[in-house]
Structure 1
Amino acid sequence: MFTPSQHDVRRFFCETFRKSHESLVLTPLEMIAADWISQHPEYAEALSDVEAALETDYSVDQGQTNPFLHLSMHLSIAEQISVDQPPGVRQAFQILARRNNSEHEAHHEIMECLGEMIWNSQRTGLPPDGQAYIDALKKRCS
Structure 2
Amino acid sequence: MFTPSQADVRRFFCSVYAKALAGQPLEAIETIASQWMDEHPEYRAEWLDADAALAKMHDMDSAKTNPFLHLSMHLSISEQCSIDQPRGIRQAVELLTARRNSLHDAHHEAMECLGQMLWESQRSGRPPDGQAYIECVQRQATRD
Would you call these one fold, judging by a TM-score over 0.5? Answer: yes
On the 8 A contact 2:95/2:138 being kept in 1, the answer is no
Question: 3-state DSSP class of the match of 1:42?
Answer: helix
Give, in whole Å, the separation in 2 of the partners of 1:66 and 1:77: 17
Please name the residue that 2:19 is paired with. Answer: 19
Question: 3-state DSSP class of the match of 1:61?
Answer: coil
Deviation at 1:50, TM superposition (A): 0.5
On the 8 A contact 2:96/2:138 being kept in 1, the answer is no
Deviation at 1:94, TM superposition (A): 1.2
Give, in whole Å, the separation in 2 of the partners of 1:77 and 1:10: 18
Deviation at 1:77, TM superposition (A): 0.2
Gaps of 5+ in 1: none
Q: How does 1:18-57 map to 2 (within 5 A)?
A: 18-57=18-57
Please name the residue that 2:123 is paired with. Answer: 123
Question: 3-state DSSP class of the match of 1:118?
Answer: helix
Give, in whole Å, the separation in 2 of the partners of 1:89 and 1:81: 6
Give, in whole Å, the separation in 2 of the partners of 1:139 and 1:62: 28
1:94 to 2:94 alignment: yes
Please name the residue that 1:84 is paired with. Answer: 84
Q: What amino acid is aligned across from residue 77 of structure 1 in structure 2?
A: I
Please name the residue that 2:61 is paired with. Answer: 61
Q: Tell me the TM-score normalized by structure 1.
A: 0.96
Deviation at 1:119, TM superposition (A): 0.8
Deviation at 1:98, TM superposition (A): 1.1
Deviation at 1:101, TM superposition (A): 0.9
Q: What amino acid is aligned across from residue 88 of structure 2 in structure 1?
A: G
Deviation at 1:64, TM superposition (A): 1.0
Deviation at 1:60, TM superposition (A): 2.1
1:3 to 2:3 alignment: yes
On the 8 A contact 2:121/2:129 being kept in 1, the answer is yes
Q: How many residues align?
A: 142
Give, in whole Å, the separation in 2 of the partners of 1:2 and 1:82: 18
Question: 3-state DSSP class of the match of 1:110?
Answer: helix
Give, in whole Å, the separation in 1 of the partners of 2:36 and 2:81: 15
Q: Percent identity?
A: 56
Greater alpha carbon shift after TM alignment, 12-21 vs 81-90: 81-90
Q: Tell me the TM-score normalized by structure 2.
A: 0.95
Give, in whole Å, the separation in 2 of the partners of 1:95 and 1:28: 25
